[in-house]
Amino acid sequence: MAAEKIATRSADYSQWYLDIVNRAGLAENSDVRGCMVIKPHGYAIWEKMQRALDRMFKDTGHVNAYFPLFIPKSFLAREEQMAEGFAKECAVVTHYRLKAVPGGGIEVDPAAKLEEELIVRPTSETIIWHTYKNWIQSYRDLPLLINQWANVVRWEMRPRLFLRTTEFLWQEGHTAHANQEEAEKETKRMVEVYRTFAEEWMAMPVIVGRKSEGQKFPGAVYTLCIEAMMQDRRALQAGTSHFLGQNFAKAFDVQFQSKEGKREYAWATSWGVSTRLVGGLIMTHSDDQGLVLPPRLAPLHAVIVPIFKTPEERVNVLEAANKLAASIRDLDLRSWLDYEPVSVKVDDREQYQPGYKFNEWELKGVPVRIEIGPKDLAKGACVLARRDLPGRESKEMGVPLEGAAKRVGELLKAMQADLFNRAKTFRDANLHEIDSYDDFKKRIEEPGGFYLAHWDGTRETEDRIANETKATIRCIPFDRAKEAGKCMVTGQPSAGRVVLAKAY
Amino acid sequence: MAAEKIATRSADYSQWYLDIVNRAGLAENSDVRGCMVIKPHGYAIWEKMQRALDRMFKDTGHVNAYFPLFIPKSFLAREEQMAEGFAKECAVVTHYRLKAVPGGGIEVDPAAKLEEELIVRPTSETIIWHTYKNWIQSYRDLPLLINQWANVVRWEMRPRLFLRTTEFLWQEGHTAHANQEEAEKETKRMVEVYRTFAEEWMAMPVIVGRKSEGQKFPGAVYTLCIEAMMQDRRALQAGTSHFLGQNFAKAFDVQFQSKEGKREYAWATSWGVSTRLVGGLIMTHSDDQGLVLPPRLAPLHAVIVPIFKTPEERVNVLEAANKLAASIRDLDLRSWLDYEPVSVKVDDREQYQPGYKFNEWELKGVPVRIEIGPKDLAKGACVLARRDLPGRESKEMGVPLEGAAKRVGELLKAMQADLFNRAKTFRDANLHEIDSYDDFKKRIEEPGGFYLAHWDGTRETEDRIANETKATIRCIPFDRAKEAGKCMVTGQPSAGRVVLAKAY
């Protein structure tokens, strides 16, 4: 398993990413074009993400529900931007039955053609707002704060594991409000939830801001987003929160009686993050030895590798290992780990040597490795190794077994903080102000990175930059300096700098 | 909301069920034929079920993963029984793009026709075993113990909320083993997990047994199941665990090198339960006042309804209510509730009267209601009411506020036990031995119930019973008495009694 080396980031970043996904057992391509199989280790990371996000959603007053996978074709057509934005990537169900072919095999039964084709949901605004029509009669029914965990399908011509797949898993929040102010507050609240999750759980620093017209969600009045920098200095859009105005309420005729007794259209938001985050997590922290996981999202926090030669040594070492594992499980990190216990495994497999096990757990990104051998045991000690530090620096030798569990807890917390700080230092070092479009065109190629530039605010200039450089406006950051200037492309007035980068 | 009465079970059982689903806010039909919207309260129950089951799966060594929604048509054709069993109810994706119609609207783009149609998974054996081929090389890769939480689609002509829907949510376990014995042990272990879940969480007694040939899963060598009795005395198949032999390994050529160095086909199991369980839960416990939920699966365990007239009373009553709520949340029931805290709500809505609130929470099945009014408060007491007991019997008056939290904990545990016992008493009272087919034909109509009868073991007799009575062989129970006899239909020899009933 740990036989061949993985590609290095500097030699071939794309291959490095695929090697990590493959060798750490996270996902693989299926025989269905663009659809991936999420393998147990990859799915366990997604489960950790789900759990933390779900609690944050519930803590902000949301409840979960489930809406149909299929959407009648005509629903999609009702909201114009949405039809335009998604029509080109929809999987279409046209029949509801197969039949046996005389002589063997099965074929689509032409007699079972649907009157109206069904679309496999690319996102659920249409079917949900169609449903909300019956749920919303009065201001008393508002706000409606609903989230759905689901699979969605957007036909993908150039798939890439986790980052861009035809089918992906996500959550989509769909809220309805009695007035614009409340809906806009919700839109902002949820992008803040995403920022908190990205930074405090994924240890991934993000820039929060608003999308330009060219990059907003089809059907939105505006889109807020979090943007992260990967280790190749490209941007990853990691989460979006949309203010939908009354667009969907009007398309699906969702009116309610206001406190003042008037009929009004409801105001909407929607917001989502997906399994793409697993790709972002990999590309933010991992190294040339394999996956690196922030402890708060690691399915396994620590692994104990016993080292022995004789059967007697084996018994003693395993006893000490199991005792230590138990005391690590008892660590009180529950609130930090969302009420789950610390997860620790004693790797007592007999068919593999310690070196093989070290490699395997390194590849899989287990935050802390613990080694216990007869020599350590004689001193009542063990060796601790942090996954995120290089070579010798990662190791703490002769840690007394008695205090080892506590030390593991400290290392997990330190690693979580250090991963964030390291990623932020990297991001900040590759974030530059720029004023010359010629410079920009060169530097976006080499060394790459995020560029803060003045832009005249027009769609025309936005499109020109995209066509000429393949870079896009990632966002208009919330915290940008109030600094008037001139567009680096056209010289026209600009109200402030925006973030430009090449993106996944 | 609580204005109209719901139908009674005795007057119209089907309508009663639909009324509960509707009025308790559990689910509704969508505009997509056969697909339901699972509303927040219904989904919260499913989440509780998922959580408890997921822990049981993990405690028995399973991990989760995710496989594609779409299955190439040819995969389905490879396993003959499966193709036959599912072809007639498959949603088929034939195109991957829509396009704008000149003049408005969108249509399927005929240029985007798939070379091979994709089936929306009705179950995932085929795509999973196709994937396993690459995962299983050696006996060291076995057993493979994987579960998936997913949506599946089986086209349904006569849908019924939760019980039979075109799209439903479920979990499907798919395991691979090195030998038959291990696979059979797994098949049995998982039906036992389902039994434990049904009885200890759902408080729903079940009969565990083996399906007859006519009722087994397409592709299985045999199927084990749990069968529950609903309040109309019909059976509900609540979970199944299939021993698949080497059928799928052969269909997808999954061979491994055994310890002895031989190439062998892997042995398979699969097992699943679905959102149908929510329907079973409703029909097992609910009454003519609304939903009744076993506390271990209730999204909300207790609700406190404050009663007051003056603003001053309001302040005092709410203060006491919030204090009591806090001490209920502190109850140490975490291991009983799968590490989640007791969930309690103070219903301080101003626009509704207490009577309205009582009805609403009764309808929604909250296990314990607490009333606090000024008179109670003067005595330092409150009123507790258990959802599952009728009228006066349900109430405990003058419970001291100090001990009230502890008492709520006791009531939750008592209610969980009583619901099971009550359901079991009902089931046992409606489970009869029968020896005459003529009697059977009458009694299966009125009063209905489960009938233990001798059967000659042939498919012919099984089909005849089904055709003539609409009753089916629910299972050959594990714990049946070793009692030879004569088939009630043919008089041929029988090795023991089987369970017959009309079923959902």
pLDDT single digits (tens) B352-368: 999 999 999 999 999 99
pLDDT tops 50 at residue A472: yes
Residue A174 near residue A268 (C-beta atoms within 8 A): yes
CATH topology of domain B300-410: Rossmann fold (3.40.50)
| A330-333 CB contacts, 8 Å cutoff, 24+ apart | A330/A405, A331/A405, A331/A406, A331/A408, A331/A409, A333/A409, A333/A412, A333/A413
Q: What is the reported pLDDT for A84?
A: 87
Strands B144-153 and B113-120: unpaired
State whether A120 and B151 contact (CB < 8 Å). no
Q: What is the reported pLDDT for B334?
A: 84
Rounded to an integer, the average pLDDT of B190-196 is 98
- The dihedral formed by the CA atoms of B157, B160, B161 and B162, expressed in degrees to the nearest 10: -90
pLDDT tops 90 at residue B318: yes
Q: Looking at the complex, report in whole angstroms how far the Cα of residue B147 sits from the nearest Cα belonging to chain A.
A: 9
CA nearest to A55, candidates B176, B92, B51: B51
Q: If you measure CA to CA, which chain B residue comes closest to A65?
A: B40
Rounded to an integer, the average pLDDT of B63-69 is 98
CATH-assigned architecture of domain A431-501: 2-Layer Sandwich (3.30)
Q: Where are the alpha helices (DSSP H) in A401-446?
A: 401-429, 437-443
Strands B207-210 and B222-229: antiparallel
Give the DSSP H/E element, type plus range, for residue B339: none
Contacts with A167 from chain B: Cβ below 8 Å: 68-70
pLDDT tops 70 at residue A342: yes
Cβ within 8 Å of residue B475, ≥6 positions away:
B207, B208, B209, B210, B211, B212, B215, B225, B227, B498, B499
- In one-letter notation, the amino acid at residue B240 is T
- From the list B35, B106, B131, which residue is nearest A30 (CB)? B131
Q: Distance from first CA to last CA of chain A, Å, rounded?
A: 29
State whether B40 and A88 contact (CB < 8 Å). no
- Please provide the average confidence, as pLDDT, over all residues in chain B: 96
- Please provide the average confidence, as pLDDT, over all residues in chain A: 96
Of the two residues A335 and A192, the one the predictor is more confident about is: A192
Q: Determine the Cα–Cα distance for residues B223 and B194; give it in Å rounded to an integer.
A: 13
Distance set, CA B357 to CA B57, B92, B157, B346 (Å) = 38, 46, 38, 11
Q: Looking at the complex, report in whole angstroms how far the Cα of residue A298 sits from the nearest Cα belonging to chain B.
A: 15
Q: Looking at the complex, report in whole angstroms how far the Cα of residue A196 sits from the nearest Cα belonging to chain B.
A: 23
pLDDT tops 80 at residue B2: no
pLDDT tops 60 at residue A148: yes
Residue B84: pLDDT band with limits 50, 70, 90:
confident
Q: What is the reported pLDDT for B477?
A: 98
Q: What is the CATH code for A13-91+121-285?
A: 3.30.930.10
CA nearest to A371, candidates A406, A346, A342, A403: A346
- From the list A37, A155, A167, which residue is nearest B131 (CB)? A37
pLDDT tops 50 at residue A18: yes
Q: For residue A40, give the 3-state DSSP assignment.
A: helix
State whether B65 and A97 contact (CB < 8 Å). no
Helices A276-285 and A40-59 cross at an angle (nearest 10°) of 110
State whether A47 and B64 contact (CB < 8 Å). yes
pLDDT tops 60 at residue B44: yes
- Out of 3.60.20.30, 1.10.10.10, 3.40.50.1970, 3.30.930.10, the CATH code matching B13-285 is 3.30.930.10
Cis peptide before A294 (omega within 30 of 0): no
Rounded to an integer, the average pLDDT of A476-488 is 94
Q: Determine the Cα–Cα distance for residues A254 and A388; give it in Å rounded to an integer.
A: 52
Residue A3: pLDDT band with limits 50, 70, 90:
low
Distance set, CA B232 to CA A268, B185, B275 (Å) = 43, 34, 20
Give the DSSP H/E element, type plus range, for residue B183: helix B180-196
pLDDT tops 90 at residue B341: no
Rounded to an integer, the average pLDDT of A190-218 is 97
Rounded to an integer, the average pLDDT of A385-398 is 94
CATH-assigned architecture of domain B432-501: 2-Layer Sandwich (3.30)
pLDDT tops 60 at residue A2: no
Half-sphere exposure of residue B72, counting CA atoms within 13 Å on the CB side? 16
Q: What is the reported pLDDT for B3?
A: 56
Q: Determine the Cα–Cα distance for residues A382 and A149; give it in Å rounded to an integer.
A: 43
State whether A106 and B83 contact (CB < 8 Å). yes
Tens digit of pLDDT for each residue in A288-336?
999 999 999 999 999 999 999 999 999 999 999 999 999 999 999 988 9
- In one-letter notation, the amino acid at residue A327 is S
A:B CB pairs within 8 Å:
191
State whether B40 and A64 contact (CB < 8 Å). yes
pLDDT tops 90 at residue A105: no
Q: Give start-end residues of each CATH 3.30.110.30 domain in chain A.
A: 431-501
Q: If you measure CA to CA, which chain B residue comes closest to A54?
A: B47
Q: Determine the Cα–Cα distance for residues A287 and A294; give it in Å rounded to an integer.
A: 13
Q: Give start-end residues of each CATH 3.40.50.800 domain in chain B.
A: 300-410
Placement of tokens 């397409």 in the chain: B218
Q: Determine the Cα–Cα distance for residues B298 and B77; give it in Å rounded to an integer.
A: 42
Candidates B53, B78, B96, partner chain A, best to mutate (most A CBs within 10 A): B96
CA nearest to B462, candidates B291, B163, B215: B215
- From the list A39, A87, A108, which residue is nearest B117 (CB)? A108
- From the list B91, B97, B127, which residue is nearest A93 (CB)? B91
Tens digit of pLDDT for each residue in B428-457?
999 999 999 999 999 999 999 999 999 999
State whether A30 and B68 contact (CB < 8 Å). yes
CA nearest to A421, candidates A178, A203, A138, A131: A203
State whether A118 and B32 contact (CB < 8 Å). yes
Residue A339: pLDDT band with limits 50, 70, 90:
confident
Q: If you measure CA to CA, which chain A residue comes closest to B146?
A: A40
State whether B39 and A65 contact (CB < 8 Å). yes
Q: What is the CATH code for A295-426?
A: 3.40.50.800
State whether B351 and A72 contact (CB < 8 Å). no
Q: Give start-end residues of each CATH 3.30.930.10 domain in chain B.
A: 13-285
Q: What is the reported pLDDT for A334?
A: 84
pLDDT tops 70 at residue B1: no
Q: What is the reported pLDDT for A335?
A: 85
- From the list A39, A70, A105, which residue is nearest B32 (CB)? A70
Residue B470 near residue B503 (C-beta atoms within 8 A): no
Q: Determine the Cα–Cα distance for residues B9 and B487; give it in Å rounded to an integer.
A: 34
Q: Determine the Cα–Cα distance for residues B276 and B279; give it in Å rounded to an integer.
A: 5
State whether A91 and B84 contact (CB < 8 Å). no
Q: What is the reported pLDDT for A66?
A: 98
